[in-house]
Amino acid sequence: MLRPAWLVALPVALVILASSALAAQAAPPTSSVSDKIMCLCGCNSVLSVCPHPDCGWGIPAKEDIKQQLESGKTPDQVIAYYVDKYGEQVLASPTKKGFNMVVWVLPFVVLLAGAVVVYFLVKSWAVRRAAEELVEVEVTAPKASEDAQRRLEEELRKFD
């Protein structure tokens, strides 16, 4: 028979266990940060893929990120911490604000502008062709009737 104290302790322990398990689950993986910042050892790769097995910068950084995430920080907060410490250069891609917006938008603007240019070029070339065909028809039409007329005259001559 369970004593009343146990009746209280057991669910409390379960709740604590479950919540700690949940908390452990909730800590995002290190890659949620290490995929988004660069390794600063000089390899010029993203932190999560630095090819140096003994990387002096990357290995401690990954450990630090893991700890920060486990302490309850969000990936964005950890990233902000690194930007604060090392400057924007540590980010694996430019921020989407200010002048850096240009690098994100320009490729699509250029493609779109190119598409418009191609469209109008092709259209003008196709129109030119159509116009020429029209001229050709006009020029050839009387010629055909001349032919017909000559043949008609020949036929008529045979009758004569």
Asked whether position 78 contacts another protein by CB under 8 A, the answer is no
What is the largest distance, in Å, between two alpha-carbon atoms of the chain? 137
Asked whether position 35 contacts another protein by CB under 8 A, the answer is yes
Asked whether position 85 contacts another protein by CB under 8 A, the answer is no
Q: How many residues bind another protein (CB under 8 A)?
A: 45
Asked whether position 134 contacts another protein by CB under 8 A, the answer is no
Measured from the CB atom, is 138 or 160 closer to another protein?
Answer: 138
Answer for the pair 35, 24: CB distance below 8 angstroms, yes or no.
Answer: no
Answer for the pair 91, 37: CB distance below 8 angstroms, yes or no.
Answer: yes
Among 7, 26, 42, 151, binds another protein (CB under 8 A): 42
Residue 2 Cα to chain centre, angstroms: 60
Distance CA 130, CA 41 (A): 63
Q: Which of 17, 12, 20 is nearest to 4 (CA)?
A: 12
**Near another protein by CB under 8 A, which window of 1-9, 45-53, 69-77, 145-153?**
45-53
Find the shortest distance in angstroms from Cβ 81 to another protein.
17
Distance CA 154, CA 104 (A): 76
Q: What residues numbered 46-75 form the site for another protein, per CB under 8 A?
A: 46, 48-51, 53-54
Find the shortest distance in angstroms from Cβ 115 to another protein.
6
